[in-house]
Amino acid sequence: MNPFLRRYTRNYGAVAGLAVMLVVVATALAAPLLYPESPWMMVAEPLIKPFTDPAYPFGTDMLGRDITAGLVWGARVSLLVGLLSTGVALAFGILVGAVAGYCGGRIDDALMRFTEFFQTIPQLAMAVVLVAVLSPSVYSIMGAIALVSWPPAARLVRSEFMTLKQREFVQAAIVIGQTPSRIVCTQILPNAMSPIIVSASFMVATAILTESSLSFLGLGDRNLMSWGFMIGAARTMIREAWWMSVWPGVAILLTVLAINLIGEGLNDALNPQLRKRGE
């Protein structure tokens, strides 16, 4: 077995996380096949208890919407927003961090002040205000999440760049006259990739949590069923229908937990020497 896989599979939690994640991804992909009708449709009697009607295993909400259908469609929103907003945040974070770490000096100072600013202000409050003002849609949500989550990535990339820049192979590339952009893309960035990948997986988890918080507050995309929205709608029904809020929460918890476990497994597999020091 190749060493990457061997180190990854040695972490049982990471294997379990991967298994859960595969189920979630498969569910998200299969949503249109499993539940071709919109999850907003009222399909049965309201407030059917879970595990009583085999057609609606997780019950129905106060309007008779199928909670199982909501869970299945919600997986799409969570994964989509989690992945895309992390992608945007990562691209921006890498850009800022790479420029700051490679150039150093004043540029570095200015960019780090900028990064610190975004790290200081209350992130969720900022995302809430942004989405509210721009009016809630899947784009404004992804943009807001990306805007509040890039700073840690930028700091990580910057510190990686600062150490890698001192290494002989980079110095050699400078001496033979490679252009800075080429050095960054072909010499430094590939060597900085493993910590970036690890932190990206944790960013996806945080983005999913943030998305669910926004939809919980009523700032979700009105056309898409999401787990946070389901919990928000269930909030006032907590005394009458516990299942309306329990299942979507369990779905978020499992997904985020799985991603965090995968992140730790990737960390073991990609940075084995770091792992040993921590043991």
Cβ proximity to other proteins: between 2 and 273 the closer is 273
| Residues 152-171 interacting with other proteins (rule: CB under 8 A) | 155
> How many whole angstroms separate alpha carbon 66 and alpha carbon 39?
7
Considering only the stretches 3-11, 66-74, 85-93, 126-134, report the one whose residues sit in contact with other proteins under the rule CB under 8 A: 126-134
Q: How far is CA 199 from CA 112, 192, 239, in A?
A: 19, 12, 39
Stretch that binds other proteins, among 52-60, 166-174, 180-188, 234-242 (CB under 8 A): 234-242
Q: Nearest approach, Cβ of 96 to other proteins (angstroms)?
A: 16
Give the interface size with other proteins as a residue count (CB under 8 A). 48
Give 192: exposed, middle or buried? Use CB within 10 Å, 0-12, 13-18, 19+.
buried
Return the residue of 252, 262, 269, 270 that touches other proteins, per CB under 8 A.
Answer: 252
Stretch that binds other proteins, among 21-29, 90-98, 186-194, 250-258 (CB under 8 A): 250-258
Q: Which of residues 191-230 bind other proteins (CB under 8 A)?
A: 205, 209, 212-213, 216-219, 228
CB of 253 to other proteins, least distance (A): 5
**Please, where are the H alpha helices in the chain?**
3-10, 12-34, 67-103, 105-120, 123-134, 138-164, 168-175, 180-182, 189-216, 227-234, 242-270, 272-278
Please say which residue, 49 or 235, places its beta carbon nearer to other proteins. 235
Based on CB atoms, which residue is closest to other proteins, 68 or 213? 213
- The CA distances from residue 139 to 57, 102, 221, 257, 269, in Å, are 33, 32, 9, 25, 34
Query: Which of 192, 256, 266, 270 is in the footprint of other proteins by CB under 8 A?
Result: 256
Binds other proteins by CB under 8 A, chosen from 27, 123, 199, 201: 123
Closest to 184 measured CA to CA, from 170, 195, 198: 170
Phi, psi at 65, each rounded to 5°: -85, 145
Q: What is the chain's alpha carbon radius of gyration, rounded to the nearest angstrom? A: 22
124, 137, 178, 191: which one contacts other proteins (CB under 8 A)?
124
d(CA 161, CA 188): 7
Can residue 80 be called a binding residue for other proteins (CB under 8 A)?
no
Integer Cα distance of 102 and 81 in angstroms:
31
By CB under 8 A, residue 253 contacts other proteins? yes
Is residue 125 within the footprint of other proteins (CB under 8 A)? yes
- Closest alpha carbon to 253 in 200, 202, 204, 205: 205
How many residues are given for the chain?
279
Which residues would be at the binding site for other proteins (CB under 8 A)? 112-113, 116-117, 119-130, 132-135, 155, 205, 209, 212-213, 216-219, 228, 231-232, 234-235, 238-239, 242, 245-246, 248-249, 252-253, 256-257, 260-261, 278
